[in-house]
Amino acid sequence: MESYSVSVIIPVWYESAGINERIAHVFERAAEAESLLSVEIIVADGDPTASTIAAVEYDNVICVAAPQGRAVQMNAGAARAKGDVLLFLHADTVLPVGAFDYMYQALHMAGNTSSGAKAGAFSLSIASDNWFLYLVSALGNWRNRLTRTPYGDQAQFFLRTYFEELSGYAPVPLMEDVEIMRRIRQRGESLAIIDAPVSTSARRWETEGMYRCTLRNVLLRLLYGAGVSAQTLSHWYRAMKG
C-alpha cells in the first residue's frame, strides 16, 4: 500500500454534545497524514431517536442508525465502510498526532506478505492527572503487551478484508472488543500495538468512582476469561453500575 484509505467508525449513545468536536478532531488528524489517500467518518447511533445523528453538522459524514449495542453498531458502520482500513473510535477517545501514519506503518507489510499485521490498536492513556488513573493505564498497557488483547477504547483497527474474514465483532452485549482480539490470538496471527497512546476520557471513573470502576472492570475481565458468558456479565455489569 503506497497510500491507503481509512473508514473511521464511531459508535455513539447520547453523544450529541461532543460529536462534532470528535469529527473535527478526526479530520484534523487525517489532514496531518502523509500516507493517507482519503478518510471517511461513519457515525453509528444506537439511540432509537438518533439524537446524536441529529446533532451532526457535517454533510460529508455518513450517519447510520442501528440497534443499540456497541458491537451491533460497529458492525453496521463497517457494512457501510469503503476504506482499506477500519478504525473503530469511541466517542470519548482522542487519537495521537500521527495516528494515521502510525497505522500505515503497522499495516503496510500486510499487503506484501502473509506474516504482516492485519489488525492492531494503540496504547492507552487516560485524560487525567490523577496518579491512580495513570497507574491504571500503565498496568493496562503492560497487560496488553502480555496478552495481546487491547480494549476497544484503544481504537482497534483492521484491514477491512480481514475484518470481513473475521465476520466482524461478535453480537454480544459486552466484551466484544476482547472477544475479537482473542480470536485473532487463537488464529496465531500478528497484532500490532502502537506505542503512541490514544487519550480516553476519565468520565467513567469520575462518574462511577475510580476504585469501584476499576475493580468492576478487572472482575468482569477475569470472569470472562474464566468462561462466564458475555450475556451473564452484561446483567452483572448493569447491576454493579447501578
Q: Quick check: 112 pLDDT over 70?
A: no
The whole-number pLDDT of residue 211 equals 81
Domain count, the chain: 1
In the chain, the amino acid numbered 114 is S
The whole-number pLDDT of residue 113 equals 47
Within-domain flag for 127: yes
80-84, 109-113, 166-170: the lowest-pLDDT one: 109-113
The whole-number pLDDT of residue 206 equals 85
Within-domain flag for 220: no
Q: Quick check: 198 pLDDT over 50?
A: yes
Within-domain flag for 235: no
Residue 34 near residue 101, CB atoms below 8 Å: yes
Percentage of the chain lying above the pLDDT 70 cut: 94
In tens, the pLDDT along 141-158 reads: 998 888 889 999 999 999
Within-domain flag for 52: yes
The whole-number pLDDT of residue 16 equals 96
What is the average pLDDT across 222-242? 74
CATH code, domain carrying 155: 3.90.550.10
Within-domain flag for 229: no
Instruction: For residue 136, give its domain range.
Output: 4-203
Give the pLDDT band of residue 114 (cuts 50, 70, 90).
very low
Give the pLDDT band of residue 233 (cuts 50, 70, 90).
confident
The whole-number pLDDT of residue 193 equals 94
Within-domain flag for 33: yes
Within-domain flag for 210: no
The whole-number pLDDT of residue 27 equals 98
Task: Tell which wins on pLDDT, 112 or 60.
Answer: 60
The whole-number pLDDT of residue 241 equals 59
Within-domain flag for 221: no
